[in-house]
């Protein structure tokens, strides 16, 4: 929202997209750190024992996030106040000083005049209730439809579930724990690469073409994942049992030798039946690794393609569009509201993912995500306008005409 207010129209897309780049850089850094921690848990070094790295592995993986959070909090004090808010307060001179840091001197008065006009034309009642009423007013119908669709679709792709549970998803491919964490790093690097590509192209290709083509790409990628997991089978062999003798009572799996399971759900239930809930859960990774017969390369390509498609399109572009399609009069409430909606969908998706994986299976999950994205694609194809190189005020006029 802040960047959308102060950035010149020709650079706004790139600058707002930096939000997504910062997110994926943070996620990738977390993957590297987690992999480094996991590698060192087997070390005999004194410092590993002293800090309890092996005993508290997951606590260290989560606790290390405190460091960048404190750095971010400190840097907030260097950010000047919003020029739009300053104009609302009648503090035009300070608004000009803020704008002078980011736009050419000869454009400052134009920016201020446009912001003043937007303020004067808006309802002077600035309560949260009045702003929400304006967001859901008839003249804002198209804007609200676009914003709702983007906020729901962005997180209903399942992106944060895949990113959060990347090692678990990789274990479904039959990879071991170490390899799963290693492959998760490739997910992070793919995220960075295609977010940067989106940043470079967004003001050249335009928001609408990248959003529509990106969602089609997302659907195709999710389809590849669904097909890959759907065509898999799971078989316990005598060789696999011999390689898992370190697991207590592993010979109980002999009753499953010669049985072919069509889905991961059937396989997990069968293993649970002979090994018990605790052993089946604690050793799920190695059981899948030794028993999965699937095209891991195809599924990995599908997952990386999905990650690339998301970060090329709906990932960063949603934030760009949210900063552009709402007038100043409601932007301060609208963007946090739809960000909250997006975050709520994200939290719900991540919360349900382990349950879905255990009860629906990987193939069904990816089909479910793809179906939601398809519905969103139809809505955005109909209503989403192009906003490239337009001022915020020109975008408002374009949307009102629709």
Q: Where are the domains of the chain?
A: 2-79+122-231+296-401, 233-293
The residue written with tokens 């007038």 in the block is 327
What's domain 2-79+122-231+296-401's architecture?
A: Up-down Bundle (1.20)
**Distance (Å, rounded) from C-alpha 86 to C-alpha 81?**
7
Average pLDDT, the chain: 82
**Distance (Å, rounded) from C-alpha 240 to C-alpha 286?**
10
Higher pLDDT, 223 or 115: 223
50-54, 70-74, 117-121, 122-126: range with highest mean pLDDT: 70-74
| Per-residue pLDDT band at 17 (split at 50, 70, 90) | low
**For the segment 290-334, what is each residue's pLDDT rounded down to a tens digit?**
887 878 888 889 999 999 999 999 988 998 888 788 877 777 788
Q: What percent of the chain has pLDDT over 90?
A: 19
Question: Residue 112: CB partners within 8 Å, gap ≥ 6?
Answer: 83, 87, 92, 95, 96, 99
The neighbouring-strand residues paired with 170 are: none
Of the candidates 193, 224, 198, the residue with the CA atom closest to the CA atom of residue 303 = 224
pLDDT on residue 99: 80
- Torsion region of 122: left, alpha or beta (phi above 0 gives left; psi -120 to 50 gives alpha): beta
Mean pLDDT of 368-389: 90
pLDDT on residue 172: 63
pTM for the structure as a whole: 0.73
DSSP string, 217-265: HHHHHHHHHHHHHHT-EEEB-HHHHHTTTTSTTGGGGGGGBT-EESSHH
**For the segment 144-203, what is each residue's pLDDT rounded down to a tens digit?**
999 999 999 999 999 888 877 766 666 666 555 566 566 677 888 888 899 889 888 888
Q: Is the pLDDT of residue 391 over 80?
A: no
pLDDT on residue 150: 95
Burial 191-217 (b: 16+ CB within 10 A, else e): bbebbbebbebbbeebbbebbeebbbb
**Distance (Å, rounded) from C-alpha 402 to C-alpha 324?**
16
């Amino acid at each position: 929202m802040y960047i959308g207010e102060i950035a010149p129209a020709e650079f706004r897309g790139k600058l707002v997209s930096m939000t997504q780049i910062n997110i994926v850089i943070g996620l990738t850094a977390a993957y590297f750190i987690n992999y480094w921690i996991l590698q060192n848990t087997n070390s005999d070094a004194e410092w590993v024992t002293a800090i309890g790295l092996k005993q508290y592995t997951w606590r260290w993986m989560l606790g290390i996030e405190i460091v960048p959070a404190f750095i971010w909090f400190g840097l907030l004090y260097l950010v000047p106040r919003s020029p739009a808010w300053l104009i609302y307060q009648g503090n035009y001179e300070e608004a000009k000083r803020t704008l002078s840091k980011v736009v050419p001197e000869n454009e400052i008065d134009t920016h201020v005049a446009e912001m003043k006009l937007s303020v004067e034309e808006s309802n002077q009642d600035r309560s949260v209730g009045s702003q929400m009423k304006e967001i859901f007013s008839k003249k804002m119908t198209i804007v609200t439809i676009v914003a709702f669709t983007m906020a729901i679709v962005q997180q209903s792709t399942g992106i944060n579930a895949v990113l959060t549970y990347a090692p678990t998803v990789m274990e479904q491919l039959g990879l071991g724990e170490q390899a799963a964490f290693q492959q998760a790093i490739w997910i992070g690097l793919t995220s960075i690469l295609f977010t940067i590509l989106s940043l470079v192209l967004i003001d050249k290709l335009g928001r609408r073409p990248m959003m529509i083509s990106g969602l089609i790409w997302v659907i195709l990628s999710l389809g590849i994942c669904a097909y890959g997991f759907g065509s898999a089978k799971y078989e316990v062999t005598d060789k696999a049992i011999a390689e898992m003798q370190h697991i207590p009572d592993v010979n109980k799996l002999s009753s499953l030798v010669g049985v072919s399971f069509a889905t991961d759900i059937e396989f997990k239930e069968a293993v649970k039946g002979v090994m018990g809930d605790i052993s089946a859960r604690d050793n799920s990774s190695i059981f899948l690794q030794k028993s999965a017969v699937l095209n891991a390369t195809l599924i990995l390509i599908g997952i990386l393609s999905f990650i690339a498609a998301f970060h090329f399109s709906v990932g960063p572009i949603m934030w760009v569009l949210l900063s552009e399609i709402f007038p100043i009069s409601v932007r301060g409430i609208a963007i946090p509201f739809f960000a909250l909606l997006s975050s709520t969908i994200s939290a719900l998706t991540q919360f349900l993912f382990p349950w879905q994986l255990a009860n629906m299976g990987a193939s069904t999950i990816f089909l479910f995500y793809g179906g939601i994205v398809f519905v969103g694609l139809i809505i955005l194809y109909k209503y989403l306008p192009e906003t490239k190189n337009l001022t915020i005020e020109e975008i408002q006029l374009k949307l009102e005409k629709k």
